[in-house]
Structure 1
Amino acid sequence: MIKTIIHKSRHIFARTMTTQQQQNHQQMFQTKLLKVDPTSISFASSTGEPIFSDLETQTHLEEASALLSTTDNVVAFPTETVYGLGGNSFNDESIKNIYKAKNRPADNPLISHISSPSQIPRFFSVEIPEIYKPLIAKFWPGPLTILIPNVSNSQISQFTTAGQDTVAVRLPSHPIARALIHLSDCPIAAPSANASTRPSPTLASHVYHDLQGRIPVILDGDNAQVGVESTVVDGLSSPPMLLRPGGVSLEQIREFGGELWKDVVIAKKLSDDSLEPVKTPGMKYKHYSPTAKVVLVKDEDSIAEYIKEHGLEPDQTKLALLTCETFKGENFQGIVQSLGKSKAEISSNLFKALRYLDEELNVELIFVEQVGLSDEGLAIMNRLQKAASENI
């Protein structure tokens, strides 16, 4: 029997982790950066067991997996999308430590990561619903998250699901993530490994900037390639819904999902004060924002108009422009950086560029060229609209 949504769980979470408690969370750790080499890992075809050719990588992964399986601690690790902050999905205290480290709203559910589809019935006591099988066949391992029923005999922590009747599940393709999950032998709940509302991290240095002293270990596996979080779909609703755009495009869902996904609809964003339950991360709350002000622009002429209307002095205000598909930035009086010409490049470089301009160059105002909504563009604009103060 599927659980009904537990509205009172918000009050449980509120008592357990108030905003003030999260803000007062003391720096308790000497955060260790442990180097791991994703190219040194292969997997046994029959069991999915990781095989290591580098002893340092194996030792560091075993240390991190022991933290997840035997303690209440959390670990930051790379995935193909962004770096994640992982805790044991079955362990209430481990999940609370994710929320505390990030200062994350407690009604925002977490995605549980697995290393094999066979772990779904073992970990969550349900079979994979038929509607997902064509998408799983194409996109797992990869940047796709599905919602499955949260059944009464599941071990999943209510803090992982925010007390809801569904569980969000993903099978990442990054070798470090897959090996960590396999060695831990538990589903790993992992939002992005950043301070809440900050741009998502695509490098271990981004994680260290935000969470140094708040977590014990960061596994440094170089750059996360996709650059935006996973796509989240809900095949339990009718019609099925795209809850969060990400590394798998809407067009790909329709193409490879078959007849059952041809009428997929895009879920509306919830306001921050909405009482409606949040099914997945990204549907609510401000996200992805640097300290610098971000302004989205459709054409280059509007930049000069904006600067004039707001009385900005380019020689006194540190300005930057992130170009995408068409902007040249030839007459812009500030820092000009290209995110790439293809949407895949733009997606991969977006968060890294926002953090570089904000944290390294101390830019005050960042103009960003808008992109079309086809393919990866829907996910790119979803993130930019949440990061931006204005859209002109």
Structure 2
Amino acid sequence: MLKRFMSALSFETRILKVDPNSIKFSKTAHIDGSLPIVTDVETERNLKEAAKIIRETNNTVGFPTETVYGLGGSSLNDQSVLNIYKAKDRPSDNPLISHVSSIDQLNRKIYGQQQVDDISQNIPTVYRGLTDKLWPGPLTILLPVPKTSTLSKLTTADQPTFAVRIPSNPVARALIALSDTPIAAPSANRSTRPSPTLASHVYHDLKGRIPLILDGGPCSVGVESTVVDGLVSPPLLLRPGGFTWEQIREMGGDDWTNCKFENNKTVAAGEKVRTPGMKYRHYSPQAKVILFAPQKNDLNLSHRLEIVKDVIEQHAQDVRKYAILSTFIFPKGLINDPRCIHKSLGKDSSEIQANLFAALREVDEMDDIDIIFVEGMNEEGEGLAVMNRLKKAASNNVTLF
């Protein structure tokens, strides 16, 4: 059985370069489905090859989005979705987000409506303030599965809702538009590993498991999309991501003023989840991760740093090497130990968010790194999404300081 499984995933994985700057969309393409103009011949050829795989085969493609690299297959094809799960070693009860290039494509391909009186009629009014401002972009919304649905039940994990977004990355948009196929696409990494933000990350995890990776350069956002549910009252932030909770509440209108985020929600065994990232271990390097979470307290900075040093020295006693990833407080000279590798994640919250997964991967792939210590940040703005990922990566190995 295992031998047959592996042979089904045996590919010579190719990386094809694409130039995002050569892809141009009209201002209304995300609504009416107008196709892009691609000025670079190599980019157009490679996009069409990847689109043909999505449209005409059961295979999958790695491709960049503004958030992280995705592993895409047709949302309408059971075998394509099954191959996503196989390539990632991902549990099949974890739903997938469907990526569309336009509202027109959503209507035609998922709702089966070739002509509509109102092009936005399948998007409930509660979402309109958000989608008008934030699509294309890292915003995912939950919609009811149509009564006569073309979606694979493997995409929705056989639930009454499905998750959908229009990405802003030109490569992702062009791939979806040229294939004219809604693309189910979780992050293009082996399940539980840190999400990929470079084509090389995808190749590292999925070499031999997928036929093709489109290399469109680094992802700009660096964490997955924000997922919201406006089908309940009050509406819920299910997963923090590329747009902050504050932005959702501000831009969504009156309906979103009381948007809730159940930050500490745990998922029981056997419980169905409505969006990726809620149930299983995620974002974890092979090395053990210990997260330092800042707290509001009366201790001065030097005392707080002494607590951090004591914890690091205690856990690092018998390890070969270890890394420290810092954000705002930890100085570079915090630990004077030749076994220690210190990296800054960035100078502001947006930079930290964009660098997070790449930094975790970089130090984890160094020789003999046994522990990664990470300085957390306050859970405001981008910090909510960053800390959400870090807590999962640390598997709740969290020290308050």
- Are residues 1:371 and 2:377 paired? yes
State the AA in 1 paired with 2:228. V
State the AA in 2 paired with 1:95. V
5 Å-filtered alignment, 1:222-371, equals: 222-267=217-262, 271=266, 273-297=268-292, 298=294, 299-310=304-315, 312-313=317-318, 317-332=320-335, 333=337, 334-371=340-377
- Are residues 1:88 and 2:74 paired? yes
Percentage of matched positions with identical amino acids:
55
Cα 1:238–1:272, aligned 2, differ >3 Å: closer, same or farther? closer
5 Å-filtered alignment, 1:1-392, equals: 24-26=5-7, 27-45=9-27, 47-125=33-111, 127-267=122-262, 271=266, 273-297=268-292, 298=294, 299-310=304-315, 312-313=317-318, 317-332=320-335, 333=337, 334-389=340-395, 390-392=397-399
Task: Note if contact 2:60-2:83 (Cα within 8 Å) is conserved in structure 1.
Answer: yes
Q: 1:191-231: CA deviations, max 9, x gaps?
A: 00000000000000000000000000000111001000000
- Alpha-carbon offset, residue 252 of structure 1: 0.5
- Alpha-carbon offset, residue 305 of structure 1: 1.4
State the AA in 1 paired with 2:65. T
Q: How far, CA to CA, are the matches of 2:48 and 2:369 in structure 1?
A: 40
- Alpha-carbon offset, residue 122 of structure 1: 1.7
Moved more, 290-299 or 228-237: 290-299
Task: Note if contact 2:316-2:371 (Cα within 8 Å) is conserved in structure 1.
Answer: no
What number of residue pairs does the alignment pair up? 371
Moved more, 115-124 or 342-351: 115-124
Taking structure 2 as the reference length, what is the TM-score of the superposition? 0.89
Moved more, 210-219 or 299-308: 299-308
Q: Which runs of 5+ in 2 are unaligned?
A: 112-120, 295-303
Q: How far, CA to CA, are the matches of 1:184 and 1:362 in structure 2?
A: 43
Q: How far, CA to CA, are the matches of 2:170 and 2:392 in structure 1?
A: 30
Q: How far, CA to CA, are the matches of 2:223 and 2:21 in structure 1?
A: 22
Moved more, 302-311 or 180-189: 302-311
Aligned-pair RMSD on alpha carbons? 1.8
Moved more, 353-362 or 172-181: 353-362
Q: How far, CA to CA, are the matches of 1:57 and 1:290 in structure 2?
A: 33
Task: Note if contact 1:271-1:285 (Cα within 8 Å) is conserved in structure 2.
Answer: no
Q: Which runs of 5+ in 1 are unaligned?
A: 1-19
Taking structure 1 as the reference length, what is the TM-score of the superposition? 0.91
Moved more, 39-48 or 135-144: 39-48
